[in-house]
Amino acid sequence: MKTLLECDGIFLDKLFIPAFRLKTGEVLCWNLPGPIDWEWEELLVRRLTGSHSESVRLFGKVFMVDPGTWSVKGFWQRLRSRFHRPLVVNKLAKEAGITKDQAGILAQRHGVSTKDRLWGISQNPRVLLALEIAWARRADVVVFSTSGCDPIGIRAIYHEIQAHLQHIAAIELCYPTWTQGRTVRICFPGATCLEITKQTPESSLVTPERM
């Protein structure tokens, strides 16, 4: 198995990511403290998709599976979308570098109509279609989360990841979920779990890099 990503242990904002090595066919589940912190995830994306450093070494293309792909960002873009109302298939075609006909087939595969607008789809297809972009861009490592998805969507997402594991590796960002009167974590079956915690350099066995 090919090594795709190595980390010697780093601080990312206030959270410590312990040392790990990720190879093709492997899935790491990062147990993160709640609640969901989108700004921290953006920092993570920039760190893992950047260049080599002393503490983080990349040997492949890292792709963040971002459900926000299907949101309209920016004031003027949102204002324009109230009149233009862009289609999901158009956005998918652009992001994946495929034709609109191909995008339509992929969208329908995940229960999205060719007439659905960006604001009109639920979290399940948001994540699944973002995965399709990852496959189209030939990602080596995908970073994903099932937050906001229902059990059917989670199973579908895991199935998609499993179907591609022969050629990729994955990191799942796992947040605590409150269900049936208790807090649980739902992780990819067979994944290796890492606890992402608030630590100080004195409490760590390594000298972490700060960002």
pLDDT tens readout for residues 102-118: 999 999 999 999 999 88
61-65, 157-161, 181-185: segment of lowest average pLDDT: 181-185
Beta carbons of 118 and 91 less than 8 angstroms apart = yes
The stretch 122-128 carries a mean pLDDT of: 94
The stretch 201-210 carries a mean pLDDT of: 41
What number does CATH give the domain 1-61+140-211? 3.40.50
What number does CATH give the domain 70-139? 1.10.8
Q: What is the pLDDT of residue 202?
A: 47
Confidence of residue 207 (pLDDT cuts 50, 70, 90): very low
E strands, 24-175, are 27-31, 56-58, 62-64, 141-144, 169-174
Enclosing H/E stretch for 3: strand 3-7
Spatial distance between the Cα atoms of 176 and 142, rounded to a whole number of angstroms: 21
The stretch 175-181 carries a mean pLDDT of: 78
Asked if pLDDT for residue 20 goes beyond 80, the answer is yes
Spatial distance between the Cα atoms of 129 and 66, rounded to a whole number of angstroms: 10
Confidence of residue 55 (pLDDT cuts 50, 70, 90): confident
Q: What is the pLDDT of residue 199?
A: 66
46-60, 102-116, 133-147: segment of lowest average pLDDT: 46-60
R_g of the chain, CA atoms, integer Å: 18
Q: What is the pLDDT of residue 211?
A: 34
Confidence of residue 189 (pLDDT cuts 50, 70, 90): very high
Confidence of residue 86 (pLDDT cuts 50, 70, 90): confident
Q: What is the pLDDT of residue 51?
A: 60
pLDDT digits (tens, 9 = 90+) for 23-37: 999 999 999 887 777
Q: How far is CA 48 from CA 53, 58, 62, 105, in A?
A: 10, 8, 7, 31
Cβ-based neighbour number of residue 167 at 10 Å: 13
Q: pTM score, two decimals?
A: 0.84
The residues spanned by each domain of the chain are: 1-61+140-211, 70-139
Distance of CA 56 to the CA centre of its chain: 18
The stretch 79-95 carries a mean pLDDT of: 76
Q: Bridge-partner residues for 169, per DSSP?
A: 141
The stretch 64-76 carries a mean pLDDT of: 62
The stretch 70-74 carries a mean pLDDT of: 48
